[in-house]
Amino acid sequence: SDSSKEMEVDVEQSPVSSPVKQNGMVVEVAGPCVIQYKDKKNREKDKKVKNDCYCWICHHTGKMLCCERCPRVFHIKCVPLNDEPDEDWVCPCCAHVEECKKQGDKSKCCRTNLAKMLPHALDRMSSSGTEAFQQPVTTDVAPNYFDFVNYPMDMGTLRQKAKAGVWTCTQNFLDETRWILHNCIIFNGGKSRLTALARTVYNVCQHEMLEINLCPDCFLNSCTADKDWFTRPCKKQHRLVWAKLRGFPFWPAKVLQRQGQQIDVRFFGQHERAWVHESNTLDISEEPPAGNRNKESGSNRTGAEEEMNRYIDHLKKANKWPIDASKIKEERDEDEED
């Protein structure tokens, strides 16, 4: 067996021909990796782009269905499909990319904006302990790494692609980031310390992509050194409300999204987030209930109101005040359709 302090792996035999022993445990495998093609043309294509041998969903080997546009492979039951497709098949990841290309600049995050935002997301993904994922794995560190991994990925490569404007949508970037986790599971096993760190990286990436989708301008503004970033207007109109949490007075906030009667708000002042029921909010044009202040929150509330007023001043200069309620409703309907 071969092991290294960086990769923490104990692999005895090739995964495409026999079971793999990882971290002292035998990983379930369904047998030899068999890639299914519909015609000779795709067999020739695979000589140039080597397909993975592990299911993108469950990370096990077996009889695989090959995506015609990327290295990903899937068990038919994991897609899930009831039967083998009769024609060339495109995986869900690639299908989503094609949909984003059709939308072009109409999508929430066009290619140009993503090139600006993704480096900031990668900074937040690069927490302490992620050093093993910052650069490509080499055979000096893991001599047999490429016996198992056909499509290596690391955050340094992601960063280069991000700056080059490769991705057309956040889901595309998230799917590419998932290769780090997928490869780590394949090579190190599901219970490895490095795999746990890879999951953390992927989870942070999911969070950052959700934030970008929610409001690209808010995300980009929050990444600047401008202390007054929260007062900068966004292209997306944010409803302003007085929102109340249990034990606290009504507080000025921006509405980011809603799900049914629950509203996701970000408060002025400390910029904290919370879900609040619709019944615990008032439009900012209304006065908060009498006796809303108390000694402990008075000064903080005053600072929050001052920040809100600066935000409103910026809206007025941009001819976005008063807020067009019909436009907010239109954007809300679009979000619900998404």
For 160-212, the DSSP string reads HHHHTT--SSHHHHHHHHHHHHHHHHHHH-TT-HHHHHHHHHHHHHHHHHHHH
Residue 135, pLDDT above cutoff 70: yes
Task: Find the distance separating the first CA and the last CA of the chain, reported in whole Å.
Answer: 49
Q: What's the confidence (pLDDT) of residue 215?
A: 93
pLDDT at 330 over 90: no
Higher pLDDT, 17 or 206: 206
Structure-model confidence comparison of residues 235 and 16, the more confident one:
235
pLDDT value at residue 210: 94
3-state secondary structure of 26: strand
User: Is the pLDDT assigned to residue 7 strictly greater than 90?
Assistant: no
Q: The pTM is what?
A: 0.79
Please give the pLDDT value at position 102. 78
**CB contact at 8 A, 87 and 68:** no
- Phi and psi dihedrals of 129, rounded to 5? 100, -10
CA distance 180 to 216: 25
Q: Are 228 and 60 in contact (CB under 8 A)?
A: no
What confidence tier does 286 reach under pLDDT thresholds 50, 70, 90? low
- Rounded CA gap, 27 and 15, in Å? 9
The model's pLDDT over 48-81, given as tens digits with 9 standing for 90+, comes to 557 899 999 999 999 999 999 999 999 999 999 9
Give DSSP secondary structure letters for 263-322. Answer: EEEEETTT--EEEEEGGGEEETTSPPPTT---TTTHHHHHHHHHHHHHHHHHHHHTT--S
HSE-up (13 A, CA, CB side) for residue 286: 12
Percent of the chain whose predicted confidence (pLDDT) is above 70 = 75
Cβ(165)–Cβ(114) below 8 Å? yes
- Nearest alpha-carbon partner for 240 in 284, 278, 279: 284
**Burial letters 33-57, b for 16+ CB under 10 A, else e:** bebebeeeeeeeeeeeeebbbbbbb
Tell me the pLDDT of the chain averaged across its residues. Answer: 81
pLDDT value of residue 142: 94
In angstroms, the CA 308 to CA 65 distance is: 54
pLDDT digits (tens, 9 = 90+) for 72-118: 999 999 999 988 888 889 999 999 888 887 776 555 556 668 999 99
- What lies within 8 Å, CB to CB, of 135 at 6+ separation is 154, 156
Residue 5 scores a pLDDT above 60: no
Q: What is the pLDDT of residue 240?
A: 94
> Residue 196 and residue 26: Cα distance in Å, rounded?
19
Instruction: Band the pLDDT of 128: cuts 50, 70, 90.
Output: confident
Percent of the chain with pLDDT over 90: 59
251-276 residue pLDDT tens:
999 999 999 999 999 999 999 999 99
Q: Is the pLDDT of residue 131 over 50?
A: yes
Q: How confident is the model at residue 40 (pLDDT cuts 50, 70, 90)?
A: very low
